[in-house]
């Protein structure tokens, strides 16, 4: 099946800093989503972005499908940005379209 | 707009007991999924449903049963709970198959089996 690698595994930021999270995948995809799991365990949709660029407030994401990677940008980070960020993809060769999750990037934003 | 709602949020069971987790969505989504999340294992698909009255096995279906009698509800049952089923369970739904559709998750249900 498709492999999803996220980097870095851990990230410590001071409030106000910018950061970039990366998601590499091993095959062509039809679906790519970014999620934020907050410290309370909730999984929150950030972006549905199989290709192109999207922005939502301080967050933006870019997927370059032909080069098999996606980037999540966090600007002017806040303590509420802490948590785990997951990238999840569906490979074009998957039989029914199972969403494959990466291991996540643990982000800690300090005041 | 409630989105995807799971009940209960927390439950403690003894080995051998049974229970049912309920997932309800109000977005008229066709597809619904049950995942479990364990430390170091990420999210793994247990069962899924592509429409009312239909269910299918995911990656880790053993020890679980599901039913989708109504489009808006997807039930996950444990007939005889085991400590290995201690986990956080997430329900999700999508308008279309996850092949091309955006998944929305519930808040999770933390289950402990003693």
Q: Do B45 and A99 touch (CB under 8 A)?
A: yes
Cβ neighbours of B108 in A, within 8 Å = 41-43
* CATH code, domain with B103: 2.60.40.10
CA–CA separation, B33 and B48 (whole Å): 4
| Per-residue pLDDT, B100 | 57
- Domains in chain A, number: 1
- Among residues B95, B89, B113, B87, which one has the least CA distance to residue B32? B95
Interface test with B, best of A6, A29, A31 (most B CBs within 10 A): A31
Q: Determine the Cα–Cα distance for residues A37 and A45; give it in Å rounded to an integer.
A: 9
Find which of B4, B42, B47, B51 to mutate to test the A interface (most A CBs within 10 Å of its CB).
Answer: B42
Judged by a CB distance cut-off of 8 A, whether residue A6 touches chain B is: no
* pLDDT score, position A92: 81
Rounded to whole angstroms, the Cα distance separating B112 from B31 reads 27
Indicate the length of chain A as a whole number. Answer: 111
Domain count within chain B: 1
> In tens digits, what is the pLDDT along chain B, a chain of 114 residues?
579 999 999 999 999 999 999 999 999 999 999 999 998 777 888 999 989 999 999 889 999 999 999 999 999 999 999 999 999 999 999 887 655 578 899 999 999 999
Nearest CA in chain B to A96: B99
Determine the structural domain holding residue B76 and report its residue range. Answer: 4-113
Task: Give the length of chain B.
Answer: 114
> Residue A70: which CATH number?
2.60.40.10
For Cα atoms A96, A97, A102, give the angle at the middle one, nearest 5 degrees.
145
8-state DSSP, B59: S
Which portions of chain A are predicted below pLDDT 70? 95-97
CA-nearest of B112, B103, B82, B114 to B3 is B103
Interface residue of A35, A98, A106 to substitute, partner B, most B CBs within 10 Å: A98
Q: B78 CA to chain A: closest CA distance, Å?
A: 22
- Hey, is the C-beta of A104 within 8 angstroms of any chain B C-beta? yes
User: So what's the pLDDT on residue B1?
Assistant: 58
Q: Give how far A2 is from chain B: nearest CA, Å.
A: 13
Q: b/e string for A10-29 if b means 16 or more Cβ within 10 A?
A: ebebeeeeebebebebeeeb
- pLDDT of A97 reads 62
Q: Which domain holds residue A67?
A: 4-110
Residue of chain A minimizing CA distance to B40: A103
In this structure, the number of other CB atoms found within 10 A of the CB of residue B18 comes to: 10
Contact at CB, B98 and A31, closer than 8 angstroms: yes
């Amino acid at each position: 099946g498709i492999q999803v690698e996220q980097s870095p595994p851990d990230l410590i930021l001071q409030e106000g800093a910018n950061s970039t999270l990366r998601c590499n995948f091993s095959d062509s995809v039809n679906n790519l989503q970014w999620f934020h799991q907050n410290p309370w365990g909730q999984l929150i949709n950030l972006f549905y972005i199989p290709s192109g660029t999207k922005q939502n407030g301080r967050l933006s994401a870019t997927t370059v499908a032909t080069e098999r990677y996606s980037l999540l940008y966090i600007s002017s980070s806040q303590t509420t940005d802490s948590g785990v960020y997951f990238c999840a993809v569906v490979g074009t060769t998957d039989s029914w379209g199972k969403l494959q999750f990466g291991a996540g990037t643990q982000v800690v934003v300090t005041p | 707009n409630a989105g995807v709602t799971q009940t209960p949020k927390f439950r403690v069971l003894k080995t051998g007991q049974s229970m049912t987790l309920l997932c309800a969505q109000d977005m008229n989504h066709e597809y619904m999924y049950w995942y479990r999340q364990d430390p170091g294992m990420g999210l793994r698909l247990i069962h899924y449903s592509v429409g009312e009255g239909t269910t299918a096995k995911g990656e880790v279906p053993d020890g679980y049963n599901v039913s989708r009698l109504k489009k808006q509800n997807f039930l996950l049952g444990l007939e005889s709970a085991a400590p290995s089923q201690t986990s956080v369970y997430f329900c999700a739904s999508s308008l279309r198959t996850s092949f091309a559709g955006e998944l929305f998750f519930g808040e999770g249900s933390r289950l402990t089996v003693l």
